[in-house]
Structure 1
Amino acid sequence: MIEAETLELLEWQRLGEHLATFTSTKLGARAARNLPIPRDRDTSLILLTETKEVYQLEQDLTTGWKFDGIYDFGSALERAEYKGILQGETLVQIASTLMAMRRLRRVIDDLEDSPRLKELISQVRTYPELEQEIYRCLDEKGKVTERASPKLGEIRQKIKERRDRAYQKLQNIIQRQGAAVQEPVITQRSERFVIPVKAGQKEAIPGIVHDSSSTGATLYIEPHSVVELGNQQRQYIRQEQREEERILQALTEQVGEVKDDLELLLAIATKLDLATARARYSLWLEANPPRFVEANSQDQITLRRLRHPLLVWQQHHEQATPVVPIDVQINPETRVVAITGPNTGGKTVALKTVGLAALMAKVGLFIPAKEPVEIPWFEQVLADIGDEQSLEQSLSTFSGHIQRITRIIDAIKTQDEEEIQTALVLLDEVGAGTDPAEGSAIAIALLQYLAAKVRLTIATTHYGELKALKYQDERFENASVEFDEKTLSPTYRLLWGIPGRSNALTVASRLGLESEILDLAKDRMAGGSEDVNQIIAGLEKQRREQEEKAKEARQLVEQAEKFYQEVSNRAQALEAREGDLKRSQEEAVNQAVKEAKQEIAQVIKQLQQGEKTGQAAQKATKTVNDIASRHLPKTEPPQPKPNYQPQVGEKVRLPKFDQTGEVLTPPNAEGKLTIRLGMMKMTVSLADIESLDGRKPEVPQKQQKATTPKKTKNEAPTVRTESNTLDIRGYRVSPAESQLENAIRSQNGGALWIVHGKGTGKLRQGVHEFLKQHPQVERFELAPQNEGGNGVTIAYLN
């Protein structure tokens, strides 16, 4: 009973109505509106497999996956079993369904990888001989055709002859007695041919009166001359009816003989239509297939960007507000989640959303959440949501909640007291409707009981005491619905790990409540409650800042990926263009070589045939040189590059440091200029830089003469003096790095003695990390033991 109440509370029937709109048959629509919840996990996995296979089938098919021609004739099969005669229309529907299922089977048989659909359709028998017999005997509207029986054809021919003779006689009477006829037409009453005659002229056309008009002014008379023809026609009509019934009876008996197979066919047609509806509904919801995680595994429940399916429907079909998705990520050790926050903030919607997601996964529907979708298979989904106040039953809100919770407890009881039920329990405003102190105590006791009994309980509450359970019991987790203090409205986002805080004073202040009253209220609240609210507010602020930074990081990653894609595309295009150019050049060279070889061979042939003299050899050599000058590629001597001078703002390379920097000042008379390397500025000579395309700047003569070979590491002075010693003992790492940077800049090469002390070693480690990355540090080492050992580092500078 409580499970049926839960389905009603979660509005499961509405979801079934929405699913029914995606079905193609009455069979599927009825099944969607009465969607059964599987009792075992294997059935849910089979349903999910069917949905996935149809989802993929519809993506791949070009002609479409159609259920045209499938009808619901289940009730007719029972009548056929008990020798009742089926109507012609029903028999045509049976034949149409057999044909449609054969068409679906052909589509499935052609699929490469759909084992579940093939297993389903392999059970279907479509009886083409029965279908053909029905279409031989009946037309599209279910009327028995003359093809069904020669005798029926003869009877209908006789009926036609009698009708034609009767019409001819009646036409003659109308022509002779036109003044007595109300209207010159022939009609029928009780299967008899009659003429509308004026009541005052009935003696002019003697016969049998079968009917009269409402005013009595017209009598419908069957003249005596056509009575016998009418009698004969009625006899033949009775014969026709008996023959048609005989034919329908024969067809019905054939249907009754295969009743079980036809019932199975309808059941499989329903399954296929329902699987198709699930796939189409899932596609419309932009949903993803769930993966059932083991209840006792280390996998967490993951439902990111989860949307309430009924609210999505309202948004698209009823122009409602956009649906705000929630993130649900619950660790495997968590058994109870307490959701707190302001009224109308979305707590109850969050409960219903998670409950519907669990049910949707069980019936084979995809879940409207971002991949991966991971959720346990819950054996039971039980809920207490809403106000249970009842005047008829004299129930208060509290009493109503307790009665329903009692039914939930009864449903999860097992013989093994230590066994944890794979159930999802949803409790809305647990403990509400009574004294806050007692209600809070009951709520805490109930949640601790459920933590030991069921896989997951999600409860909404206003009680502050429940927020502290997380810090006392690792099975508990806090969540809250976000509230925007600027707009005084909820955002409907679900925040994890942060309990909700009361916003009553803020809302009251914004709405104009007297400050004197607010001050008194604050005095009454002074202490723990207000401090907790401030702490929670700080946590919420930190969370928003982190989310903003994460959003910026995602945008940067997207921009980088876009830039990388553009560069890759350009590189591929350039590579293809270079390949084409290289091939064309190779073809041109090969053609030139071929032509040159032919011409040289001709010269050699002429030389061999002519007089072999030195003059002839010289002439041949000149000819070969001419050929070479025509066919060899013309190369121009390399042109010297123009003088290069770096400009302010230009990017240049420093090969010595393998770094790229920006020019801040133009070179001075001595060829010195200032470069920015990241966050650092340094002065270098023109000889130490080059342009990004490899050009060297012109160095002034003074600098060339003054340039001396760079000292090697062994030539650096290692004598410690006051000017080359830096004492940073007592500094933290960050300020110490600033001192180091200034000392390296002013040192201008040589060795720098850095006194950092021994201590915990963190300052020494920070100094070494800084020196590793500095472009002016060639190497560094710890000082000898007599010079300070681990407490002193010697850095050798460029």
Structure 2
Amino acid sequence: MIQAETLDLLEWPRLCQHLATFTATKLGAVATRHLPIPETPDESLGLLAQTQEVYQLENEVPNGLSFEGIHDIGVALERAELQGLLTGEELLEVATTLFGVRRLRRTIEDRDNLPVLSELVADIRTYPELEQEIYRCIDDRAQVADRASVKLGGIRQQLKSLRDRIHSILQRILQRQGQAIQEQIITQRGDRFVIPVKAPQKDAIPGIVHDTSTSGATLYIEPNAIVSLGNQLRQLQRQEQAEEEAIRRQLTEQVAAVKPDIEKLLIVATTLDLASAKAQYSRWLEAHPPRFSDRAQGEKIILRQLRHPLLVWQQQHEQGSSVVPVDLIISPETRVVAITGPNTGGKTVTLKTLGLATLMAKVGLFIPAKDPVELPWFEQILADIGDEQSLQQSLSTFSGHIRRISRILEALGEEDEVSQALILLDEVGAGTDPSEGSALAIALLQYLADRAQLTLATTHFGELKALKYEDERFENASVEFDERSLQPTYRLLWGIPGRSNALTIARRLGLNPTIIERAQGYVGGPSEEVNQVIAGLEAQRRRQERKAQEAAQLLAEAERLHQEVARKANQLQERERELRAQQEVEVQKAIASAKKEIAQAIHRLQQGSVTAQDAHQATQDLNQIAERRLPSVTQPKPKSSYKPQVGERVRIPRLGQTGEVLNIQEEQEELTVRFGLMKMTVPLSDIESLDGQKVTKPAPPPKPPEVKTAPAKAPLVQTESNTLDIRGSRVADAEVRVEEAIAQAFAVGRGALWIIHGKGTGQLRRGVHDYLAQHPQIDRFEQAEQNSGGSGVTIAYLK
């Protein structure tokens, strides 16, 4: 009972109504308004996995999951099982539902990253043969189609012919007896065809009167000429109706035969609709998926920038005020949090926000808080919020609180076990004598510290603020109050108890200043000293927060500057690449120009008679081309070395995070980095300094030089194209011809040149050798083998 009462106190039904607006089917809307709370952590994890996969699917697929055509056919299935007769509309809804769920299954099975949803739809049967049979027998107007059976088609053909005969006869009567007709129309009364006849002229058209106008001036008469045809028509209509019912009966029996599978199919469709609604609602809230933490293992509750979902809805849809988020970071040692502060400051909203966030996580909804979101899975959520005063039951405010707290304690169970429960108490101990109420509140909170995993209680009793200093399981928090504007800020401050500020609030609400001044004179003693200490702590906290904000701004500015420097560095690198590409183009142009100049020099040598001086000049020209065109080789600059140190802040580019170095494992080439509340071990290659330097690995020790055998060069073969015969030439003429041959050999890439000069006096051989010795494109030359000419042939090797 108390858990259901807690749902009402937290306004859970209202949140479910908001969630229902995101459903696509009537089934989903009804299920959302009666959303069950899971009883095990595994159920909640399964629901969260469904929400996450649908969220991911809708990010990847433009239209997400389509629920078009899916109807709530539960009542129709029940009637079919009881041998009732389904209408054409109900049969069409069965067919469209089968098709709609088959489309859902196809959408899910087409992707390989949805294991939970794939398992959900794996075993459902959509009976395409039943769907096709319904579409064959029932047309778009939900009427039994002519094609449903041969017999029905024949009956309807007879009906058409009979109606045509009746219309033909009535038209002839209208034409012949025009003076007796009130209006030239053929109409029906019941299932009989009639014509409107003027009352005084009724004898002109003998027949059966089926109706009379209100004024009595018109009689609706079925002429005797069509009475027998009308009787035949009625018989055929009854046959048609019987055949239609037989066809619908047959389809109804087919539906009843597979009712269990269709009901399972409806459950799957409803589950998918709920998951889709949760994903869309979570996206609308800009929420993040929660992780269930284990306080027994030392994990904290982390809810930063937590917003009340109902207040977010009110702000967006009802023009409400902006929502002020709260931070709830509760250590695992804390069992009780006492929240103090002024009235209208947001204490009760804080309780409801945490309660709703816990319920949302249990049913598979994301939490409207900053990522990461970590909170325990509470087995029970029990609350005493609001006033349960009742005149009919003679209950005072205090009595109402006590009754509800008693139900909470009963729900906790055995006293020797710590219940996995979240207890939310508003104004604990209020409504009675302050001294006794305070004592009762202290005893209750100490009892709950032993019995419940976490309790949040709001109070005005100063004695509760001191529990933190007596028991490490207690923590203080307060809602902030701005004394300058005399307005609450709705921010939650941790570690500092709050002041009630009753006199300040009363002055703001317009209470007589004389009364306030007199009350100020009565305030004093230890409580006033405590308030002064608290005020000093609040001022100190505000200063620290201001400094923290300034530090955050400086850090943000540093991050911005780093990003700007990185951007400019990228621009410089891009510019360097562009310049290198341009330089490459220029080099290619220079090489092409040099080849052109070399070809021109060779062409000049080939024109007419050339002296040795001309050959030397051409050689010098080639040397100048090489010096002018070939780019200078610059030695690369040595890279700067960087090695991180423990305590230094480094950047992890692939994560987009900046963290502090905690430990360095040089042998494994890894280091441990902390950013925020997380620690992570990353490779040295993944980090860089804040100014962009990468870690330089030490150069490996030099390996002993390997003795390699130079590969044998391919043997040079003498051919007609690489052989020059200068026998009988003068030395000057021989030099010209040798220069031309060298240039041609160099242009086509030949490796050697055979020069036949003969033996004779040896003067021509010496002249050739002297010329080859000073030629810049000749590597070496030697005398040929005896079988290739001996001293009469010189082989010149080109560089």
TM-score range, shorter chain: 0.7 to 0.9
- The 5 Å alignment of 1:455-534 reads 455-508=453-506, 518=516, 520-534=518-532
Q: Which residue of 2 aligns with 1:426?
A: 424
Cα distance change, pair 537–205 in 1 and its aligned pair in 2 (3 A): same
**In 2, Cα distance between equivalents of 1:613 and 1:173:** 132
Q: Check if 1:68 corresponds to 2:86.
A: no
Cα distance change, pair 150–603 in 1 and its aligned pair in 2 (3 A): same
Q: Which residue of 2 aligns with 1:289?
A: 289
**In 2, Cα distance between equivalents of 1:380 and 1:542:** 38
Cα distance change, pair 517–64 in 1 and its aligned pair in 2 (3 A): closer
**In 1, Cα distance between equivalents of 2:504 and 2:281:** 43
**In 1, Cα distance between equivalents of 2:264 and 2:570:** 58
Q: Check if 1:2 corresponds to 2:2.
A: yes
- The 5 Å alignment of 1:166-565 reads 166-414=166-414, 417-508=415-506, 518=516, 520-565=518-563
Q: Check if 1:585 corresponds to 2:600.
A: no
TM-superposed deviation, 1:610: 7.6
Q: Which residue of 2 aligns with 1:53?
A: 53
Q: Which residue of 1 aligns with 2:123?
A: 123
Q: Which residue of 1 aligns with 2:36?
A: 36
Cα distance change, pair 241–441 in 1 and its aligned pair in 2 (3 A): same
Cα distance change, pair 127–606 in 1 and its aligned pair in 2 (3 A): same
Residue by residue, what CA displacement relative to the aligned partner does 1:632-678 show, whole Å, maximum 9, x if unpaired?
Answer: 6799xxxxxxxxxxxxxxxxxxxxxxxxxxxxxxxxxxxxxxxxxxx
**In 1, Cα distance between equivalents of 2:376 and 2:594:** 80
**In 1, Cα distance between equivalents of 2:139 and 2:506:** 77
Give the aligned residue type for 2:5: E
Cα distance change, pair 512–138 in 1 and its aligned pair in 2 (3 A): closer
TM-superposed deviation, 1:515: 6.7
User: SS of 1:16's equivalent?
Assistant: helix
**8 Å contact from structure 2 (residues 191, 234) kept in 1:** yes
**8 Å contact from structure 2 (residues 448, 455) kept in 1:** yes
Residue range with higher mean Cα deviation, 47-56 or 166-175: 166-175
Give the aligned residue type for 1:550: A
**In 1, Cα distance between equivalents of 2:509 and 2:102:** 69
Residue by residue, what CA displacement relative to the aligned partner does 1:67-92 show, whole Å, maximum 9, x if unpaired?
Answer: 11111101111111122111111111
Q: TM-score, normalised by structure 1?
A: 0.76
User: SS of 2:479's equivalent?
Assistant: strand
Q: Which residue of 1 aligns with 2:84?
A: 84
TM-superposed deviation, 1:63: 4.1
**8 Å contact from structure 2 (residues 148, 247) kept in 1:** yes
Q: Which residue of 2 aligns with 1:149?
A: 149
**In 1, Cα distance between equivalents of 2:579 and 2:7:** 71
Give the aligned residue type for 1:38: P
Q: Which residue of 2 aligns with 1:566?
A: 564
TM-superposed deviation, 1:219: 2.2
Q: Which runs of 5+ in 1 are unaligned?
A: 636-798
**8 Å contact from structure 2 (residues 174, 181) kept in 1:** yes
Cα distance change, pair 196–614 in 1 and its aligned pair in 2 (3 A): closer
Give the aligned residue type for 2:458: T
TM-superposed deviation, 1:625: 5.6
Residue by residue, what CA displacement relative to the aligned partner does 1:439-492 show, whole Å, maximum 9, x if unpaired?
Answer: 111111111111111111111111111111111111111111111112222111
Paired residues, number: 633
TM-superposed deviation, 1:614: 4.5
TM-superposed deviation, 1:302: 0.9
**8 Å contact from structure 2 (residues 340, 500) kept in 1:** no
Cα distance change, pair 350–229 in 1 and its aligned pair in 2 (3 A): same
**In 1, Cα distance between equivalents of 2:529 and 2:503:** 14
**In 2, Cα distance between equivalents of 1:102 and 1:510:** 63
User: SS of 1:334's equivalent?
Assistant: coil
Residue by residue, what CA displacement relative to the aligned partner does 1:278-307 show, whole Å, maximum 9, x if unpaired?
Answer: 000000000010100114121111111111
TM-superposed deviation, 1:232: 0.4
Cα distance change, pair 261–314 in 1 and its aligned pair in 2 (3 A): same
Cα distance change, pair 227–612 in 1 and its aligned pair in 2 (3 A): closer
User: SS of 1:490's equivalent?
Assistant: strand
**In 2, Cα distance between equivalents of 1:65 and 1:563:** 44
TM-superposed deviation, 1:251: 0.7
TM-superposed deviation, 1:125: 0.7
User: SS of 2:478's equivalent?
Assistant: strand
Residue range with higher mean Cα deviation, 99-108 or 41-50: 99-108
**8 Å contact from structure 2 (residues 343, 500) kept in 1:** no
TM-superposed deviation, 1:606: 6.3
TM-superposed deviation, 1:204: 2.2
**In 1, Cα distance between equivalents of 2:96 and 2:423:** 47
Give the aligned residue type for 1:472: E
User: SS of 2:297's equivalent?
Assistant: coil
**In 2, Cα distance between equivalents of 1:627 and 1:329:** 77
**In 2, Cα distance between equivalents of 1:290 and 1:88:** 47
Q: Which runs of 5+ in 2 are unaligned?
A: 634-799
Residue range with higher mean Cα deviation, 609-618 or 389-398: 609-618
Residue range with higher mean Cα deviation, 201-210 or 470-479: 201-210
**In 2, Cα distance between equivalents of 1:218 and 1:512:** 81
Cα distance change, pair 568–212 in 1 and its aligned pair in 2 (3 A): same
Residue by residue, what CA displacement relative to the aligned partner does 1:513-549 show, whole Å, maximum 9, x if unpaired?
Answer: 6776555534432221111111111111122222222
Give the aligned residue type for 1:201: Q
Residue range with higher mean Cα deviation, 115-124 or 561-570: 561-570
User: SS of 2:323's equivalent?
Assistant: coil
Instruction: Please provide the CA RMSD for this pair.
Output: 2.1
**8 Å contact from structure 1 (residues 480, 500) kept in 2:** yes
TM-superposed deviation, 1:152: 0.5
**In 2, Cα distance between equivalents of 1:457 and 1:567:** 50
* Percentage identity across paired residues of the two chains: 65
Give the aligned residue type for 1:470: K
TM-superposed deviation, 1:242: 0.5
User: SS of 1:400's equivalent?
Assistant: helix
TM-superposed deviation, 1:94: 0.9
Cα distance change, pair 495–152 in 1 and its aligned pair in 2 (3 A): same
**In 2, Cα distance between equivalents of 1:44 and 1:512:** 50
User: SS of 2:208's equivalent?
Assistant: strand
User: SS of 1:219's equivalent?
Assistant: strand
Q: TM-score, normalised by structure 2?
A: 0.76
TM-superposed deviation, 1:174: 2.0
**In 1, Cα distance between equivalents of 2:239 and 2:294:** 71
**8 Å contact from structure 1 (residues 382, 424) kept in 2:** yes
User: SS of 2:539's equivalent?
Assistant: helix
TM-superposed deviation, 1:572: 1.3
**In 1, Cα distance between equivalents of 2:334 and 2:627:** 86
Cα distance change, pair 427–511 in 1 and its aligned pair in 2 (3 A): closer
**In 1, Cα distance between equivalents of 2:508 and 2:128:** 77
Cα distance change, pair 460–63 in 1 and its aligned pair in 2 (3 A): closer
**8 Å contact from structure 1 (residues 295, 422) kept in 2:** no
**8 Å contact from structure 1 (residues 502, 533) kept in 2:** no
**8 Å contact from structure 1 (residues 92, 141) kept in 2:** no
Give the aligned residue type for 2:143: K
Residue by residue, what CA displacement relative to the aligned partner does 1:343-378 show, whole Å, maximum 9, x if unpaired?
Answer: 111111111111000100000000101011111001
**In 1, Cα distance between equivalents of 2:177 and 2:66:** 61
Cα distance change, pair 525–189 in 1 and its aligned pair in 2 (3 A): same
**In 1, Cα distance between equivalents of 2:625 and 2:32:** 88
